Structure 1
């Protein structure tokens, strides 16, 4: 694999899976993700690790995405209601999981500006992934033709994710306490449910 390998090629390398697994475990233990240390654990040099996972910020986001994927799948599988109610339930429960994860809150508090940039910017792989999940959920809920979405689904999914972010990161953005219930209520109001 060349040093300029695409992110898809990086993600497909078996070494990247092991590296992200180690990073995820360290992140969830509240430890700093140290590329040199993880490279040593894997028996490779830092340059090889960099080729596999990108820079430290990309590596951290990959670890967070690897936590978010199963969390969202679990939440969606057990979501209650239908239509807007189901989507609001998923939004509220996802916000709650994000707020209640002590390791995540610890990381956010350690470097809030970087965390917000990595998680909420348009270029964020995490935000892109979560928007895609909500877009798919909206497609499922509006597929039967019952009721019309208030916006085009990609825009609506993006707005839902921004609502969730505003309540999950409200302490960092506005100095208010994070509140998952408000995320659910706001999404329900948006979807008129």
Structure 2
């Protein structure tokens, strides 16, 4: 998992030229290659200005490619999770953490430029963080109807907190110098949800 392309017709569908650029960056990320905007433009047979017009700067292009991989991965994890209520939510968070830590391309990309990666992945402006918080928020709403969720926090706040728990274990090497440990995410989420 964590290698699937973004499905066509999604909310992040791009113009054909931009989609070609995102596909190329996705291919390079999955191969563990460095993203060089000049080389990308040359490979796409366009100039840098056209590439920037299509997809923005290198960080924006990289995040679009990462989103095109992680969105369907998270959707699949949610669709395949068993259980109900807080139990299901904890399992989903644990599984999402696992695939994040075990995706070699992802860890390789993070280790190449850790400060930039942490900023792109965890800042308030991060499209990845916004998407994942939104997905967790919807999951909390859906699962509150099927089983106990166990916390009085507003749904949006709880979704953000759950993602921060996941990030603290997945990006532990960048934050505090510890090894990433996805196995702690499910029990930590379960404890917060009072399961």
Is it true that 1:59 corresponds to 2:61 in the alignment? yes
Deviation string 1:12-71 (CA, Å, 9 cap, x unpaired) is: 322111111111110010001122222222222111110111101111111111110111
Q: Displacement of 1:112 after TM fit? A: 0.9
Aligned to 2:108: 106
TM-score, structure 2 length as denominator? 0.89
Deviation string 1:77-127 (CA, Å, 9 cap, x unpaired) is: 111211111111110010011100111111111111111011101111111
Aligned to 2:99: 97
Aligned to 1:6: none
Aligned to 1:68: 70
User: Which structure 2 segments of 5+ residues have no match?
Assistant: 1-11
What is the root-mean-square deviation in Å for CA atoms of aligned residues?
1.6
TM-score, structure 1 length as denominator? 0.90
Whole-angstrom distance in 2 between the partners of 1:54 and 1:64: 15
User: Which structure 1 segments of 5+ residues have no match?
Assistant: 1-9
Is it true that 1:156 corresponds to 2:158 in the alignment? yes
Whole-angstrom distance in 1 between the partners of 2:126 and 2:161: 15
Q: CA contact under 8 A between 2:86 and 2:147: conserved in structure 1?
A: no
Aligned to 1:5: none
Count the aligned residue pairs: 184
Aligned to 1:181: 183
Whole-angstrom distance in 1 between the partners of 2:18 and 2:74: 22
Deviation string 1:140-172 (CA, Å, 9 cap, x unpaired) is: 101358566431111110001111000000011
Q: CA contact under 8 A between 2:85 and 2:147: conserved in structure 1?
A: no
Aligned to 1:128: 130
Secondary structure in 2 matching 1:12: coil
Is it true that 1:86 corresponds to 2:88 in the alignment? yes
Secondary structure in 1 matching 2:35: coil
